A and B are shown apart, each in its own frame.
Chain A
Amino acid sequence: MSDFIDILLTAGFWAATIRIVSPLIFGTLGELICERAGVLNLGIEGIMTVGAMSGWMWVYQGGDLWTGVLFAACMGAVFGLLHAVFTVHLGLSQHVTGIGITLFASSLSYFVYRMLLPDATTPPKIVPFQPIAVPWLSDLPIIGEALFTQSALTYLALLVVPMVWYVLFRTPVGLAVRMSGENPVAVEAQGINVLAVRTGAVMVGSAFMAVGGAFITMSWFDAFYFGMINGRGWICVALVIFASWRPGRALLGALLFAGLEAIQVRAQQSAGAFIPYQFFLMLPYVMSILAMIVMARKTKYPQALLVPFRRGERV
């Protein structure tokens, strides 16, 4: 037990938590934006893979880091558009389409990676985003190292949470997005194109997911491995439910999970002798299921989630 408290008190633990939380923030916010507009996006796992591969590959081929992030976001948006064409415009099953997108996007990423690097036996590396120490603030004890010695992409993740909140709850376009997830007919009746709003939301959300994936290969690690997303996308879907579709709570949930993962890594080192490492690796998945159980009775789903909208449909 005292080991455990020791872990919580180290700056390294908190720094790791904040680092690990970044992809979860991007992924969860991306999914949240899609679902607020009424579209479940189960393509998230594949779209994060696309982001991880394409951002990394951009840099590996000589591009710079920030345009790599932008490229990953664009690729995410492209797959988001594909998802939107199927689920929003054609009104097809959001569940099945999402799974199809995930299988397609991840296998395409692997295919492209192998195409471009056919002979690589050990994954080649890039120079990833480096930690930036914020002057003065980074000298603070513990939180200095935890919060203010992170990579630029992590600062961006933390900045994006209030931005998404503001756009969703304080701007006309955010109102249109939320209304599309509650009652698309009402949106159409006010002269706003629901299909366009939903398409836009899914594309933006997917771009977020892809940036989350890119963080893993461009900031957290420095190479692309097969299967490196490893269910993080699904955890984000669970986190959205846990967060009741609220950006602030999504940040809290993501922090909780990142903390869990950071503890897990450290506990493995100290307790690995007694408890097999597989049980530590299981924690995030089991916790995700538990999180959904805990929130199940309380949450208010967007009322039009999973409901396709067809203009002027005759019942």
Chain B
Amino acid sequence: MSNPPVLEFRGVTKRFGTLTANDDVSLTLQQGEVLALLGENGAGKTTLMNILFGHYQADEGDILVDGEVLPSGSTQAAINAGIGMVHQHFTLADNLTVLENITLGTESLWSWRQDQANSRKKLAAMISDYGLVVDPDAMVSELSVGERQRVEILKALYRDARILILDEPTAVLTPQESERLFATLKSITAKGLAIIFISHKLHEILAVSNRIAVLRRGAIVGTLETATSRREQLAELMVGRTVTRPKLSAIKPGDLVLEINDVSTGGTGATELKEIDLTLHQHEIVGIAGVAGNGQGTLADILSGLRSDFSGTIELNGQMLAAGNPRAIVASGVGRIPEDRHARGVVANMDIWENLISEDLRSDEICRAGFIIDGAGARVRAEKQIEDFDVRCKGPDAETRLLSGGNMQKLILARALSNTPSFILANQPVRGLDEGAIAYVQEQLLEARKRGAAILLISEDLDELMTLTDRIAVMSHGMLSSALPTGERSIAEIGLMMAGHGDQGGAKPGSLADGH
């Protein structure tokens, strides 16, 4: 450690009210290395990077770049100091071109013209230097997820970043795209740049980093050399105890519950379904793998009752699904966990008891004389659901917006699972949750499986699918492969299929189970 660090955090502390998001964080980053920042959701990784980027100001501590203190609270200062950030949620404007997205902010706002010729030249050079191929004149809305990420990286490099920060960069990529990203990162560090790689996926961190800093509840709990680190040790450091995510027990599948037959939504776009077939049985969790935006959302919308404009048939327990009618679908024994808790799952400004009756609002149990809500009865029921699903709150009359993410998800579980549905649609049910809440949600799903429910689990996290499903189908460009028993396809094979290269529908004997 002879060189001075290119980036150093010194005792950075950040509080939000009573919550300490970052507690005395000290870190160093050396030139040419990849430092992994490991921590579960809510550990404070994003807050730390927001401080670095001036979105927040630290309550205590300093950040130094090349030994000089970085002025706090200024994104511009961070960029000028050579720090570039690739955000988890891409910060691109869909209706503008790649070039416009990249050059924004690189020229003086008061200049009377844009020097497009120069920017094109510079960009073209960088595209060939780093192999980050993308068309400068394409609209961002036309790009694939992988291409968008390249634009994000180019954006940082274009501004002469020497320190690159990637926040959960692989969350939306196929395994092969991730591999390609890792190769790009190697070529970037080879040119002398330093990288902070933020993730909660252990195998990636072990594959890509030189050193690992583990963040737990806002504090650094260990900094390790990657070469001498073990997976189990990291997992324990990250969560603070031995992690036991629930595992599947062998149960024989029962009767047919859901049969999707030849469902299409017309059109050729990536999100339009093309002749989908799938069956689910009792005691079965079937996973759907795929990169976001390949039709999973469309399928979920149809099964949730939000869309009815499709051809083909869907039968639930031998009856036609009440397409386009969420309440009838719920009444026929479907539990639904939506992809986005905040946008779709709850009405944050309404009370907890009100959110718990939203799906059966007009049922005889809740509704008196056809229009009056039985508030007392609904509160009694809500109290029981709150207790059954361990929702930590002040009671049924508390406002839903005050719940933490995990408790909000428990509330949605309470609503979806209370009346023992025979089919459960779980769309990204653990996204953004901490380990405790993840384990809770997964246990509940396994409990429902044991009871006899059929569960469709849509996830972008292959590790989750590998440990939690009986069968996996892969979705790509609106097409769904056959659902083979989990383990018959390797992660690499699934990755290829996610990218649209695999054979769709064909049953391929499993080569190896990767075991992640």
- A residues adjacent to B (C-beta < 8 A): 170-173, 175-176, 178-179, 182-183, 185-192, 300, 302-303, 311-312, 314-315
Contact = CB atoms under 8 A, between A and B. Distances in A.
B92 A172 contact: no
Interface stretch (B104-112, B300-308, B439-447): B104-112
B94 interface: yes
A185 B91 CA distance: 6
Contacts of A312: 50, 55-56
Interface in B215-261: none
A303 B104 contact: no
Interface string B79-112: 1100001010101111110001101111111111
B109 A189 contact: no
A191 B107 contact: no
Contacts of B74: 191
A221 B327 CA distance: 61
B56 A192 contact: no
Contact of A182 (B76, B94, B108, B111): B94
A183 B93 contact: yes
B96 A172 contact: no
B93 A191 contact: no
- The DSSP consensus for interface residues of chain B is loop
Contacts of B89: 185
Given A186-B91, A186-B92, A312-B56, A175 B79 contact: no
Contacts of A191: 74-76, 78-80, 105
Contacts of B53: 189
Interface of B: 16, 50, 53, 55-56, 74-76, 78-80, 85, 87, 89, 91-96, 100-101, 103-114, 155, 342
A2 B2 CA distance: 92
A153 B471 CA distance: 72
Contacts of B110: 172-173
Contacts of A185: 87, 89, 91
Contact of B104 (A176, A300, A302): A176
Contacts of B76: 191-192
B298 to A, nearest CB: 21
A173 B112 CA distance: 9
B401 to A, nearest CB: 11
Contact of B94 (A183, A189, A190): A183
Given A170-B113, A171-B113, A191-B75, A303 B105 contact: no
A315 B94 CA distance: 22
B105 A190 contact: yes
A92 B24 CA distance: 36
B91 A173 contact: no
Nearest to A185: B91
Given A171-B112, A179-B93, A189 B103 contact: no
26 contacts: A170-B113, A171-B111, A172-B103, A172-B105, A172-B107, A172-B108, A175-B100, A175-B103, A175-B104, A176-B104, A179-B93, A179-B96, A182-B93, A186-B101, A187-B104, A188-B75, A189-B53, A189-B91, A190-B75, A190-B105, A190-B106, A191-B79, A192-B76, A192-B105, A303-B94, A315-B342
A192 B79 CA distance: 11
Contacts of B50: 312
Contacts of B101: 179, 186
A179 B114 CA distance: 15
Most buried by B among A188, A189, A192, A315: A189
Contacts of A172: 103-105, 107-111, 114
A186 B110 CA distance: 19
B73 to A, nearest CB: 10
Contacts of B106: 190
Nearest to A315: B342
A210 B494 CA distance: 61
A186 B94 CA distance: 10
Contact of B55 (A179, A188, A192, A315): A188
Given A171-B111, A183-B94, A303-B93, 6 more contacts: A172-B103, A182-B93, A187-B104, A189-B85, A190-B155, A300-B95
B91 A176 contact: no
B171 to A, nearest CB: 16
A176 B114 CA distance: 12
Contacts of B80: 191
A178 to B, nearest CB: 7
B96 A189 contact: no
A303 B104 CA distance: 17
Contacts of B78: 191
Contact of B109 (A176, A183, A314): A176
Contact of A183 (B91, B103, B105): B91
Contacts of B100: 175, 179
